[in-house]
Amino acid sequence: MNGREVLMAANGAGAARAAAAVEAAHTAGRVDLICSMGFCGALEDDMQVGDIFVAERVQADGVEYAAAQPATERPHHTGMLASIQHVAQTADEKASLRRRGASAVEMEAAGAAAAARGLGLPFYCIRSVTDLARESFGLDLNSALRSNGKFATMQLIAASCRRPLTLLPELLRLGRRSYTAARTLGEFLADCRF
C-alpha cells in the first residue's frame, strides 16, 4: 500500500481480540507501526454514514492513548475516540459519551493501542461511521455478540423476523451502511501515508 508492505489481522469485536491480533501480527513478522481500523458510531451531529474519523487519542476505562495522524488530503473528522466494552445501543449513551469529550465510539482501539504501546510501536486509528449520534438500535447487538468476537447473524435475523416492520429495516440499513463504511474506509486508507 503506497509502497509499503502491509500485514492485516482481523480477530472480531472487543479490545482483547484486537490486542491479540496485534500480538499475532507482531509475531508473524517485522512490524513498524499499528493501525487500528474499522467502523465506529458517531457522537457528533455533523458526522454522516461513511464519514472517516481519525482518532487523535483513544480513551478507555480512564486510560488515554495518543494516536498518530496519517498524511492525507482526504477530508476526515478528528478528536477523541471512546473505546468501550459493548455496542453503544442508545442515543442517550452516545450523548453521555459526547459530554465526556468523545467524538466517536467503538470497541477495539484501546486493545490495539495498549498492545502497540507495550511493543513501543507508533499507533494510528482510523474508523468509518456506520451509525449516527442521535440514533438508537432496536436490535440488541450486545446480546448477539459471541465470545469469539463475532455477531450471531442468525440470532439477529431471527430477532428481526419477530418484529419485521421495525427491526428488519434496521438490519438491512445496517448492512447497507456497513458496505458504504467499508468502501469509504478503503478509499481513505488507499490515500494515506503513515
Confidence band for 4, pLDDT divided at 50, 70 and 90: confident
Write the CB contacts of 92 (distance below 8 Å, at least 6 apart in sequence): 136
Structure confidence at residue 117 (pLDDT): 97
CB 64 within 8 A of CB 83: no
Whole-number pLDDT of residue 99? 97
Mean confidence (pLDDT) of the chain: 95
Inform me whether the pLDDT recorded for 100 exceeds 80.
yes
CB 54 within 8 A of CB 126: yes
Q: Write out the H or E segment, with its range, that includes residue 17.
A: helix 15-28
The CATH architecture to which 15-190 belongs is: 3-Layer(aba) Sandwich (3.40)
In order of 7, 34, 43, 135, 150, the CA distances from 91 in angstroms are 36, 31, 9, 5, 23
Under DSSP, the state recorded for 193 is B
Residue range 57-88, pLDDT digits in tens? 999 999 999 999 999 999 999 999 999 999 99
Q: What is the pLDDT of residues 6-57, one digit of tens each?
A: 888 989 999 999 999 999 999 988 899 999 999 999 999 999 999 999 999 9
| Contact (CB, 8 A) for 32 and 82 | no
- Using pLDDT thresholds of 50, 70 and 90, give the confidence band for residue 105: very high
Record the cell numbers describing residue 27, joined without a space: 509475531
User: In the structure, what pLDDT confidence band is assigned to residue 2 with cuts at 50, 70 and 90?
Assistant: confident
The helix or strand, by DSSP H or E, that contains position 55, with its residue range, turns out to be strand 52-60
Mean pLDDT of 123-137: 98
Domain ranges of the chain: 15-190
- The pLDDT of residue 65: 98
